[in-house]
């Protein structure tokens, strides 16, 4: 988290407006905390392609 905040801070110091976006894998340690294995299992059952991005506001807020 500290490194993520450093990245945002360094980008913001340039003075230009903008936003940041972070990407995680379901296999990342952080996602394991938030039930990445269950999400992965559900996606397999629903035949969602492995390379299809998913987004969930509840998980995003928890990670932030």
Sign of CA dihedral 29, 23, 5, 60: negative
Each residue's pLDDT tens digit, 5-50 = 776 676 666 677 767 777 778 788 877 777 778 878 888 888 988 8
Per-residue confidence (pLDDT) for residue 11, from 0 to 100: 64
Q: Is residue 64 part of a domain?
A: yes
Domain that holds residue 64: 24-64
Q: Is residue 54 part of a domain?
A: yes
Q: Is residue 18 part of a domain?
A: no
Please identify which residue in the block is written with the tokens 């972070």.
22
Q: Is residue 12 part of a domain?
A: no
Each residue's pLDDT tens digit, 53-64 = 777 776 677 666
Whose CA is closest to 24, among 62, 44, 53? 53
Q: Nearest 5°: phi and psi at 50? A: -60, -30
Rounded Cα–Cα distance for residues 60 and 58 (Å): 5
Per-residue confidence (pLDDT) for residue 38, from 0 to 100: 81
């Amino acid at each position: 988290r500290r490194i993520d905040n450093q990245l945002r801070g360094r980008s913001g110091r340039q003075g230009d407006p903008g936003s940041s976006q972070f990407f995680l894998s379901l296999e990342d340690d952080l996602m394991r905390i938030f039930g990445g294995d269950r999400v992965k299992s559900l996606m397999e059952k629903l035949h969602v392609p492995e390379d299809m991005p998913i987004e969930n506001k509840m998980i995003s807020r928890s990670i932030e």
